[in-house]
Amino acid sequence: MSNKYNNEEQSVLQKIQNQTGCLLLVIGIAMIAFVLTDLVSSGSSIFSSDENSVGEVAGKPLSYDEFNRTFEGLKSQLIQNNPGIAFDENMSKQYREQAWNMIIESRVVEPEYEKLALTVSPAELKDLTIGDNTHPQIQRSFRDPETNQFDKQRLIRFLKEDINANPEALQSWNSFQQQFTAGLIAQKYNQLIISSVYTTDLEAVNSGRDNNQTKNATIVSLPYNEFEDSTLMVSDSEILTYIKAHPAKYKEDANRDIEFIRLNVTPSREDSMDMMYQSKEIAQKFSEANDDSAFVSIMNSETPFNKSYQIRGSFPASVDDALFSASIGDVIGPNQENGVYSVYKITDTGLDSLPSIRGSHILINVAGTDTAKAERDARELIAQIKSGATTFEAEANNKNYDASRGKGGDMGWVRKDTRSYPRRLINRLFTSPQNQYFVTRSKKGVHIGKTTSKISRKTIQVAVVDQKIFPSTKTDGEYYKMAGEFLSKINGDKSFEEVAEELGLTKRVANKINENTLAIPGISNPNPIAKWLFNNSTKEGDISSIIDINGSYFVARVTHVKPDGLVDIEEVRTIIDEILLNEKKSDKLFSKLDVALNNSNTPEELAEKLETNPVSIPAASFSSSSIPYIGSDQIITGTIFGLPVVTKSEIIRGERALAVVYLNNDNEYEASDVEVLKLQNTDQSKQDFQQKVRQTIIENADVVDLRYRFYN
């Protein structure tokens, strides 16, 4: 049976340990992003074979051997500096990603540093280590244990004595220094970029005006959607001509479409019963165990041993009462909750500093400020509940909009200091007799409440052995057999969808799957499908074998193969058809509007001749470009802000209408402080440029990621 569940990803920081008693040197992730170590050498062998390539960077293939050497180097460094660390699959994914980023940096970004001759001189490096300006990163690693202050003599002693006496410490320091230097060069490059960014007074004034100023305008328009002409048609050739005229907008990378079925292997009733029997055996052994912590560990419990003391409400409601009623040494369970069987053992009891209680409530909303009426309504509702005309639970489910909704108003166990519910409501729960209704006010409204338990201050220390229900080999085999049956039938006369319906399965589709940016909705790890889908021998219409992804079985068929180039007409027909149809309508309506405009002096006269109404826009702005009866039309909005005061535009061919704009006046606005705007705009531009420059460099390098061929 295949592995069905992934462990949660963990993050790991690399540590450099000198093994001479000095502090750990932690290499920051931000600096590692700019690292080019000796792990990536220019002498690496690059094979021309496409099958051996994990990708392409700056027009050159990246071989698996070079990539794997970089990855193994990072892995070795981590293990050397962290003896005994468990390097699992999750770590492998993280370090493969880091190796990939390092190679991209070395091939694409670092050559830009070299073009500008950016370096760190020996004098700079000395000043930032043992000089007057020791870098904060180094200072943090050489602090006096007693004062927690930077100890320069400790650093000097390390550099003069310790690293000479310990080859591994010397190697670690050299590696750190190389990475440190690379980070400094990257900082210089960034500083060079942001130093060239500034905002002029005119730019600041314009941005303040654009953000704050509004204009008063009147528009007379002929919306395209109100004009119908059955003779106007858009042909395929016109759509194709439009697509070719806008290649940047309608160009796409090679991609493929698939249809597929997915069989999620889930435990059977027999699997659940088997786990129940096993859990009963565990419960028996648990009751006899002397070392509860060791027993939890040996049984590979999903929940590790926890020494802390738990309050009421810390466990599932189905078992909470039983646990707090039990004595030390008692074993409760097995209890099944959400596909997990749990066995609990009480190892100790204690006393909470604050009491807990369980209660329920119904919230009566206050109309306006009439709280008295809400209280009367609450008491009338209590009378109806007592008479049997309705139930507390039904009213709570209908009226509450907090965590108690859908639970019949049950608030669960609440501690005295809880902030989940209003303070007044909590106080009344602690002072009211059990199961008696009360009415109280809060900032949220008026509450009908009742206490449903006694006050508790008991805490318990609990050891838990809980295990998920896994599908058995037999169950897994049955699902695999079903996938095989589907595969055999799909090779017959029936369509993919027909076979899926016959077997009670759901056909799914995934379109425009791109080899460089794999993404299949609902599938977190698409690599196994991609290996088949983008294999050189896979053609349109081909059907895959059974593909196992984390214990789910897939069968897929290629429905479309799209090479690099312009999009297919059918994919954009609706959008472009509307654009071109509007252009034709514009041509038809233009003469009508032109004649009317030449015989009108005011927007009212023009509107009357066109048998429409002028639209007044008292405060048009860039942030709100929607125009009544037209909608969002950037061309018309732009015209408003481009006109001099008390003038009218020519006929505007807008996105949604033909229009004439009359600018009445510029509304007054409070101008922003120019110096403040200059600082704000400059700071924003600096942030944008740092991201865009690096992003543009990498985009221009045409990085192609094919690692899916080698890793699941």
- pLDDT, position 287: 92
- pLDDT, position 686: 87
Residue 34 above 90 pLDDT? no
> CA-CA distance, 292 to 306, in Å (whole number)?
10
- pLDDT, position 211: 84
Comparing 572 with 7, the larger pLDDT belongs to 572
Q: What is the pLDDT of residues 497-528, one digit of tens each?
A: 999 999 999 999 999 998 888 888 888 889 99
> CA-CA distance, 92 to 62, in Å (whole number)?
19
Q: What angle do CA 579, 581, 584 make, to 5 degrees?
A: 115
Residue 84 above 80 pLDDT? no
HSE, CB side, 13 Å, CA atoms: give it for residue 571: 12
Of 37, 35, 33, nearest to 69 by C-alpha is 37
**Token pair recorded at residue 618:** 């008292």
> CA-CA distance, 476 to 469, in Å (whole number)?
13
- pLDDT, position 81: 66
Biggest CA-to-CA distance, the chain: 103
**Token pair recorded at residue 117:** 């001759």
Given this chain, do its domains 214-250+570-666 and 270-468 carry the same CATH topology? Answer: yes
- pLDDT, position 45: 32
Task: Provide mean pLDDT across the span 362-370.
Answer: 86
CATH architecture of 255-266+472-563: Roll (3.10)
> CA-CA distance, 92 to 253, in Å (whole number)?
30
- How many other β-carbons are positioned within 10 Å of the β-carbon of residue 389? 9
> CA-CA distance, 110 to 362, in Å (whole number)?
65
Token pair 């999903």: residue: 302
Cα 468 to the center of its chain, rounded Å: 27
- pLDDT, position 50: 59
Q: What is the pLDDT of residues 240-285, one digit of tens each?
A: 999 999 998 999 889 999 999 999 999 999 999 999 999 999 999 9
CB distance 443 to 419 below 8 Å: no
Residue 41 above 50 pLDDT? no
* Number of separate helices (H) and strands (E) present in the chain: 25, 24
Of 370, 366, 378, nearest to 409 by C-alpha is 378
Residue 574 above 90 pLDDT? yes
Q: Is 484 left (phi over 0), alpha (psi -120 to 50) or beta?
A: alpha
Provide CATH code, domain 214-250+570-666.
Answer: 3.10.50
Residue 77 above 80 pLDDT? no
> CA-CA distance, 325 to 332, in Å (whole number)?
10
In DSSP terms, which residues pair with 262 in a beta bridge? 554
What backbone phi and psi angles, to 5 degrees, belong to 423? -60, -45
Of 30, 27, 37, nearest to 72 by C-alpha is 37
- pLDDT, position 474: 94
CATH architecture of 270-468: Roll (3.10)
Single-letter residue type at 256? R
Name the average pLDDT for the chain: 86
- pLDDT, position 604: 95
pLDDT band at residue 163 using 50, 70 and 90 as cut-offs: confident
Which of 257-261, 309-313, 368-372 has the weakest average pLDDT? 368-372
Domain definitions of the chain by residue range: 15-194, 214-250+570-666, 255-266+472-563, 270-468
**Token pair recorded at residue 37:** 């170590």
Q: Got the DSSP string for 648-695?
A: E---EE-SSEEEEEEEEEEPP--PPPHHHHHHHHHHHHHHHHHHHHHH
- pLDDT, position 597: 95
